[in-house]
Structure 1
Amino acid sequence: MEGGDSFLSCAVTLEWMTQGSITRKVNYKTASLRLIRNEFREMFMEITSEKHAAIRFALKSVNVFKKFMVEGKASIKFQEAGCTLFISNAPPTNLVGFLRTIFVKMTGDKDQGSNTTPAKQTMRSKLLSNKAQAFEEISPVTVADIHNAKKKIPKSTLTTPSPPAKKRKNEDSVKGPAPKKLYSPSPLTNTCSLNPEQQRVLDACLGGKNIFFTGSAGTGKSFLLKRIVTALPPDVTVATASTGVAACHVGGTTLHAFAGIGDGSGTLEHLCERAMKLPLVAQKWRKCKHLIIDEISMVDGSFFEKLEAVARHVRKNDKPFGGIQLILCGDFLQLPPVVDKGKNGKRFCFQSPCWDKCIQLCFELKQVHRQKDSEFISILNSIRIGRVTKEISDRLVGTSRQKIESDGILATRLCSHTNDSKMINDSKLSDLDGEEKIFTSQDSDNATKLLDMQTIAPSKLLLKVGAQVMLLKNVNVNAGLVNGARGVVVRFEEGFPVVRFKNKKEYTARTERWYVKNSNGSLLCRRQVPLNLAWAFSIHKSQGLTLDCVEMSLSKIFEAGQAYVALSRAQSLDTLRVLDFDSRHVWADPNVLEFYQRFRRRLQQMEVIPLGRPLSDKTNKKLKLREILEKQMKQR
Structure 2
Amino acid sequence: MFVTGFAGAGKSTAIKVAQKFCYEFCKAASIMWNDNTYLFTAYTGSAAAAFGGQTTVAATYLNKKTISDDDRKVFQGVRTLIIDEVSFLKDSELRKLDNNLQKIGDNRKPFGGYNIIFAGDFQQNEPVKMKDKEKLWHPSSTRHFENNINCCIILDGLHRFRDDERYGRILQKLCRGELEQADVDTINERFVGKNGLSLPRVLKGDSCYACNKNSQRNAITSAIFREHLQATHPDAGSDADPPRHTIIIKGFIQSTKKKIDRALRKRIIELGDSDMKQGTKLISPHLCCYNGAYFMCNSNAGLKQHGT
TM-score of the aligned structures, taking structure 2 as reference length: 0.61
Flag the 1:366–1:395 CA change in 2: closer, same or farther, 3 A: same
Name the structure where strand makes up a greater proportion of residues: 1
Match of 1:253 in 2: 54
Asked whether 1:217 is paired with 2:7, we answer: yes
Flag the 1:369–1:261 CA change in 2: closer, same or farther, 3 A: closer
CA distance in structure 2 between the partners assigned to 1:248 and 1:525 by the alignment: 5
Match of 1:426 in 2: 221
Match of 2:86 in 1: 296
1:325-372 Cα shifts (integer Å, max 9, x gaps): 1012111111323444xx462312575433244322211222213223
1:258-277 Cα shifts (integer Å, max 9, x gaps): 12222xxxxxxxx7xx233x
Match of 1:390 in 2: 181
On the 8 A contact 1:313/1:322 being kept in 2, the answer is: yes
On the 8 A contact 2:4/2:120 being kept in 1, the answer is: yes
Flag the 1:389–1:413 CA change in 2: closer, same or farther, 3 A: farther
| Cα displacement (A) at 1:373 | 3.5
SS of 2:3's partner is strand
**Stretches of structure 1 lacking an aligned partner (at least 5 in a row):** 1-210, 263-270, 439-459, 468-515, 527-636
CA distance in structure 2 between the partners assigned to 1:286 and 1:353 by the alignment: 29
Cα-Cα RMSD? 3.6
Tell me which amino acid in the other structure corresponds to 2:60: A
**Stretches of structure 2 lacking an aligned partner (at least 5 in a row):** 24-32, 234-244, 247-288, 295-299
Partner residue of 2:210 out of 410, 414, 420:
414
On the 8 A contact 2:136/2:145 being kept in 1, the answer is: no
SS of 1:235's partner is coil
On the 8 A contact 1:261/1:275 being kept in 2, the answer is: no
CA distance in structure 2 between the partners assigned to 1:222 and 1:306 by the alignment: 25
CA distance in structure 1 between the partners assigned to 2:164 and 2:181 by the alignment: 20
Flag the 1:294–1:394 CA change in 2: closer, same or farther, 3 A: same
Flag the 1:344–1:329 CA change in 2: closer, same or farther, 3 A: closer
| Cα displacement (A) at 1:218 | 1.4
Asked whether 1:228 is paired with 2:18, we answer: yes
Flag the 1:461–1:309 CA change in 2: closer, same or farther, 3 A: farther
CA distance in structure 1 between the partners assigned to 2:127 and 2:181 by the alignment: 31
Match of 2:133 in 1: 345
Match of 1:315 in 2: 105
On the 8 A contact 1:300/1:349 being kept in 2, the answer is: no
CA distance in structure 1 between the partners assigned to 2:186 and 2:156 by the alignment: 24
Identity %: 24
Tell me which amino acid in the other structure corresponds to 1:258: A
On the 8 A contact 1:218/1:368 being kept in 2, the answer is: yes
TM-score of the aligned structures, taking structure 1 as reference length: 0.32
| Cα displacement (A) at 1:219 | 1.9
Tell me which amino acid in the other structure corresponds to 2:172: N
Flag the 1:225–1:404 CA change in 2: closer, same or farther, 3 A: farther
| Cα displacement (A) at 1:309 | 2.4
Tell me which amino acid in the other structure corresponds to 1:239: F
Larger Rg: 1
Flag the 1:518–1:408 CA change in 2: closer, same or farther, 3 A: closer
Tell me which amino acid in the other structure corresponds to 1:409: L
Tell me which amino acid in the other structure corresponds to 1:431: R
Q: How does 1:68-217 map to 2 (within 5 A)?
A: 211-217=1-7
Larger relative contact order, structure 1 or 2 (CA cutoff 8 Å, min sep 6): 2
CA distance in structure 1 between the partners assigned to 2:153 and 2:223 by the alignment: 44
